Structure formats: structure tokens, C-alpha cells
Structure 1
Amino acid sequence: MTVKNKNLFISGFILGLGILGAVDGIVFHQLLQWHHMVLSPNIQFEIITDGIFTAAFSALLIWGGMKIFRDARRNELGDKWRIFLGGIFMGGGTFNLVEGIVNHHILQVHRVRPLAENPLLYDLAFLAIGLLLLFIGYMMKRQEKTA
């Protein structure tokens, strides 16, 4: 992969982390209200941790956007859209896997849907979606290399 396309992939990956963080925060934390970043009997603490999470994924989105802009201004940005989208999908899949494994299983700070009849099912579906996103991203990136 050329340096320009590597820059494009890395930008997509960073944006993918931020996009899936935003989807998680907006859908699961705010709209469905299934969980907060840290489950606690203190709602103020839950809201604060959600705010920190929002700041983190917002920073990733800003960083990814700034990286694209900087690389484009320096003429160091590739033009292969499959590599860019592959990076977004792989970044999103990585977000789901890391967040799912670390927060749901290792630290156990929350579950996807803790009040569900079978919360593990939701946690496993979350991980499966992460794997699917990684696979789609890998195939897109690979397809561009062979094209």
C-alpha cells in the first residue's frame, strides 16, 4: 500500500472508531437508554461518564477529520475509496470489539442491555457486529489492493 493510501486508511480507521462511538452513545445511551458508560446507582455519575465518553469519540472524529485535511493539503492523501471505507469499517469493528471485551466482560462496567432477560445475548451480538464490521472492512481494503 502506498504512503498516501496508508494515510487514507488510518484516517478512515480513526473516523470509524469515532463513528461507532457516536452510534453507541446516541443509540444505546441516549435514544434507547439501555445503559450508561458506567452503571451506578448515582445518575449524576452515569451522566458524567457518558459526557466523558462523548468527549472521547468527538475527539476521534475531529482528529480523523483534521488528519484528512492535513494530509490532503500536503498532497499525502490517497484516492482509493475502498481503502478509506475499509478503514472506517475496521475502525468501527475495532471499537465494538475493544469496548465489548473490555467494558462488558473484563471490567464489567456495563452490559449492552443489562435489564434484558438474557443480557449476554446482547453482549455477544455486539461482539458479532464488531467482527462483521472488521471482516467487511478487511474485504474492502483487500479488494482495492487486487483491483
Structure 2
Amino acid sequence: MTAEEKLKLLDYGGILLGIGLAGAFDGIVFHQLLQWHSVYMHTHRHGQIVSDGVFHAFTVVALAVSAVMLWRAGHPGGLARGRRLLVSGALLGAGGFNVVEGIVNHHVLQLHHVKQGDPYELLYDLAYLAVSALIFAYGLYLRQGGRAEGRSSDMAR
């Protein structure tokens, strides 16, 4: 496999890793621990649990596929820009997934809100979008060679 092919696997694997991690975090924290919402709130409890199960299956598949891609790409330190691609890709995947999920599920389709039924429901949704956009923006910053390479030569490789 050429270095360019490994970089592509590392890049796409990092993005998919970020998507899977963001989905897993959302599912574990907001769906299960805090029990603020389910993927689809406008149904009975069994339907909510099934919708969450489908979502969790999606995150497991994303994490498994990203693991295979990253394993095939090999050690990122051996590739020029490898670590930066991995970290920035994970941040871009996580932030991008959450921005799209927040806009589509919370605002367009209104399948659920971050804290369903709370008097400050919109504020929670907007804060979720803001944090997600910051994560995505930091991923872009690193992708474009941000100051992280100056602080750590490890990130530049």
C-alpha cells in the first residue's frame, strides 16, 4: 500500500472514528445516563428504546469500520502529517456529525431535543450546536496546520 493510500485510510478512518465516538458519547450520556432524550421521542417507551438501539448499532459499526481502516493505515507517526490527519479527522467527524445531527434532528425534523421538555429546551439545543461547531472548527484549524504543530512535534507528523 502506498503512503498516499495509507494517508487516505488514516484521514477517512479518523473522521469515521470521530463520528462513532460522538454518537457513542451522545448515546451513553444523553440517552442512558441523563435520560434526557431518545433518538425518536414521539412514540411509546418501547419505540424510544428501539430507536436508541438502532442508533447504538450505527455507532458500533462506525467504530468497527474506523478501527479496521486505522489498523490498515498503520502507525500514523510513520507518515508525514499522519497524527495531525488522525486527530483533526476525529474532531471534524465528531463536530460535523453533531452539527448535522443537531440541525436535522433537533430543528428540522424535531425528532428530539437535547433536554426534551425543559423550559430552556432551545438554549440546550443551541449550546449543543455551538460546542459542536467549536469542535469542528478546531479540527479544521489543526487540519490546516494550526499552532498545535508548534507546541508538539508529535502532532506535525
Letter in 1 for 2:54: I
Letter in 1 for 2:30: F
Aligned match of 2:113: 111
**Once the 2 structures are TM-superposed, how far is the Cα of residue 126 of structure 1 from its aligned partner?**
0.9
**Once the 2 structures are TM-superposed, how far is the Cα of residue 116 of structure 1 from its aligned partner?**
1.6
1:82 and 1:71, CA in 2 relative to 1: closer, same or farther beyond 3 A?
closer
Aligned match of 1:13: 15
- Distance between the aligned counterparts of 1:13 and 1:78, measured in 2? 17
Aligned match of 2:123: 121
Retained in 1: the 8 A contact 2:14–2:66? yes
Within-5 A mapping of 1:1-147? 2-72=4-74, 78=79, 80-143=82-145
Structure 2 residue matching 1:143: 3-state secondary structure: coil
1:53-90 per-residue CA deviation (whole Å, 9 max, x = no partner) reads 000011000010011122339xxx84621221000000
Structure 1: segments with no counterpart, 5+ residues? none
- Distance between the aligned counterparts of 1:78 and 1:103, measured in 2? 38
Q: Please, which moves more after superposition, 6-15 or 27-36?
A: 6-15
- Distance between the aligned counterparts of 2:87 and 2:141, measured in 1? 10
After TM superposition, the runs of 4+ consecutive aligned structure 1 residues lying more than 3 A away are none
Retained in 1: the 8 A contact 2:6–2:74? no
**Once the 2 structures are TM-superposed, how far is the Cα of residue 8 of structure 1 from its aligned partner?**
1.2
Structure 2: segments with no counterpart, 5+ residues? 150-155
Letter in 2 for 1:15: L
Structure 2 residue matching 1:4: 3-state secondary structure: helix
- Distance between the aligned counterparts of 1:69 and 1:126, measured in 2? 32
- Distance between the aligned counterparts of 1:86 and 1:72, measured in 2? 17
**TM-score, normalising length from structure 1?**
0.89
Aligned pair count reads: 143
1:107-132 per-residue CA deviation (whole Å, 9 max, x = no partner) reads 11100001221101011111111110
Structure 1 residue matching 2:114: 3-state secondary structure: coil
- Distance between the aligned counterparts of 1:57 and 1:29, measured in 2? 13
